[in-house]
Structure 1
Amino acid sequence: MIRTVTLSPGFDHEVHVDRIDPGEVGRVMSWRVHAAGKGMNVARFVKTLGAEVHAYSLVGTLDEGRFRKAAAADGVHVDTFAVPGQTRDNLTLTSEALGPMAGHASGPRLDAVPSEAVDRLVSKLLRDMSPGDIVVLSGAIPDGLDVEIWARVAHSVVAAGGCVVVDGQGAALVEAIRTGVVSMTKPNENEAGAIPGVRVGDPLMSRAIAGLRWMASQGVDEPVVSLGARGIVHRWNDAIILTSCPIAEARVAVAAGDAFVAGYCVAASRQRLTKVMPIDLAVATAAAHVAGDAGLGSVHERIASIDRAVLESL
């Protein structure tokens, strides 16, 4: 079973309009609302790929019913834990007139989350777990929570026989990596700036390699740094590899990293049933999403298009 944890939830409004003309009235072509936050996004992609997933999320007190309903519409079962405040609203906007690429705007995250709510979430997660489960700790942590929260959860998950994937940021990400129990983590080029030894003024590839080396030195089994359209830098045996999957046209940029994590976890959870490597399914899933394939039907076809280049020895 794949389980995802979200401490910074949101509602993602995907709105498609015919045009955007200042002072003029356009027409809404479609409007979909998803229960979101990075862990919820991962869960939605996992479900689309046909694997079983169970999500755990904080949510604003007044939004709990609406959040569960939106998750259920995407086929995702979520255990919610109510906290004071309003769940943020995010907007992804596309226009027929402006072309396929979407614009995205994020609302303010939950603030001053009580640690007791997080404790209840983690307790339920650990009660539900079975040995071999993959647990994904995703996204930012609300202000006021201890930056070691992901680290503590990671230790508890591994003690219960689970496998930990972390897709976080800032000090919380660094502390989680330092536990030495993380199986995979994938900061993007900006998030990698929080990693010790990564110098912001260095060239992009130098920063990615420095971040990768530090994560490997901390015991991460599969360290990854994502570079957007350029692909990912990761470890392959004793080498550092640049892997990418070309697409004809980028249509959706937001949540590409969540699609990557979902593909990775699905392949890792089915390693005995498929010869597809987790990194390959991860890259192909992200590429399919960025290309605008909402149903991810082209994922396995894209694996044949994956490119690799050796950068240097690890």
Structure 2
Amino acid sequence: MIYTVTLNPAIDKTIVLDSLNLGHVNRSLFSRDDIGGKGINVAKVIKKLGHNVVAMGFIGRENSNYVYKKLYEYGICCDFIEVDGETRTNIKIVEEREGRFTDINQLGFETDNFDLENLIKRIKSRVNSNDVVVLSGSLPKGLNVDTYKIMIEKLKEIGVKIILDAEGEALRKGIEAGPLLIKPNLNELKTIVNCGESLEDIKKAVSVIVDKGITTVVSMGEKGAILFNKDECFYSKPIKVDVKSTVGAGDSMVAAFAIGIHDNLPFEESFRLSIAASTAKVTKEGSQAPDRNEILKYLELVEIQRR
């Protein structure tokens, strides 16, 4: 089984404009609401690819019914711990004329270490040794930067396979606990290591992480993506498509790796699926997940090079 953990979920409201005129009244062309947060976005793609998944984490009690309703529509099983307050709403502004994307992310509810302990207990009561657990996204107010480190240490006691997708100190601390795989984008990588933007610079920067046995996937937007582990290095250039939203592109990559690890696929195959999934995702509005056939359509177009 694959589990995703979202500590700070969100309702993503995407507003599409011709162009944003700052300081003036703007009228949208259309808008859409999706339930999101990185772990939930991962769960949506896993489900679209035909795998079972359980979404866990925290959820705000005040608007929990809406979140449950959306997850039910997606066919995603969930087991959240409800906390006081409401799940945050994130605004995604898409300017069609400029091809520009602006995110306005709210803080959301507040939790504490007692809530975290309860969540860890609940996860440990469900997972088995060969399960895959995805820990991803920002931390809600009230939790320390070592939250992911604590969770990884506790879950590794069971022997689960852990993917971590975070940034800044939360990522740095999490790496200390030794997850199986991390997937920062280039900007997130720069929050934890001194790094240039060439492939050789990135390879050198992540060597200290890879030497710890942590497979590292770095997404670089228009420059493609690169995967490193102790034995292999793969690069994939991007597939040119009409980009409608970049929200959830990295999460789609994580979903592919979760499936690959769960199914014991070679990392090159998982990498290929991840590129296809992220490509299909950016052709969709908002944080809407691509369908399986849309992902498979791009699979044969992925070009992977050994480096």
TM above 0.5, yes or no, is yes
Unaligned runs of 5+ in 1: none
Percent identity for Structure 1 against Structure 2: 24
- Determine whether 1:219 maps to 2:213: yes
Task: Select which of 171, 191, 197 maps to 2:188.
Answer: 191
**Residue identity in the other structure for 1:291:** T
The answer to whether the 8 Å contact 1:3/1:54 transfers is yes
Question: What is the distance in 1 between the residues matched to 2:264 and 2:65?
Answer: 36
1:19/1:187 CA distance change after superposition, 3 Å: closer
Aligned to 2:58: 58
Aligned to 1:300: 296
1:214-246 CA-to-partner distances (Å, cap 9, x unmatched) read 2112221x2111111211122266443322341
Question: What is the distance in 2 between the residues matched to 1:15 and 1:49?
Answer: 27
In the TM superposition, 1:87-236 aligns within 5 A as 87-94=87-94, 98=96, 101=99, 103-110=101-108, 112-180=110-178, 182-195=179-192, 198-199=193-194, 202-220=196-214, 222-235=215-228
Give the drift of 1:94: 4.5
The answer to whether the 8 Å contact 2:272/2:302 transfers is yes
Give the drift of 1:212: 2.2
Give the drift of 1:127: 0.4
1:85-130 CA-to-partner distances (Å, cap 9, x unmatched) read 33211123457xx359573423322354222112212211110112
Aligned to 2:253: 260
Give the drift of 1:34: 2.3
Question: What is the distance in 1 between the residues matched to 2:28 and 2:216?
Answer: 46
1:159-205 CA-to-partner distances (Å, cap 9, x unmatched) read 2121000001111211211223x11101111111232xx325x4454
**Residue identity in the other structure for 1:190:** N
Secondary structure in 1 matching 2:145: coil
Question: What is the distance in 2 between the residues matched to 1:203 and 1:230?
Answer: 9
The answer to whether the 8 Å contact 1:184/1:223 transfers is yes
Displaced runs of 4 or more, over 4 A: 15-27, 99-102
Task: Give the TM-score of the pair, scaled to structure 2.
Answer: 0.87
**Residue identity in the other structure for 1:191:** E
1:27/1:141 CA distance change after superposition, 3 Å: closer
Q: Which moved more, 1:274-283 or 1:79-88?
A: 274-283
Unaligned runs of 5+ in 2: none
1:210/1:85 CA distance change after superposition, 3 Å: farther
Q: Which moved more, 1:237-246 or 1:247-256?
A: 237-246
Question: What is the distance in 1 between the residues matched to 2:258 and 2:128?
Answer: 16
Alignment length (residue pairs) = 301
Question: What is the distance in 1 between the residues matched to 2:58 and 2:103?
Answer: 21
Question: What is the distance in 1 between the residues matched to 2:170 and 2:110?
Answer: 16
Question: What is the distance in 2 between the residues matched to 1:42 and 1:234?
Answer: 19
Give the drift of 1:270: 2.1
Task: Give the TM-score of the pair, scaled to structure 1.
Answer: 0.85
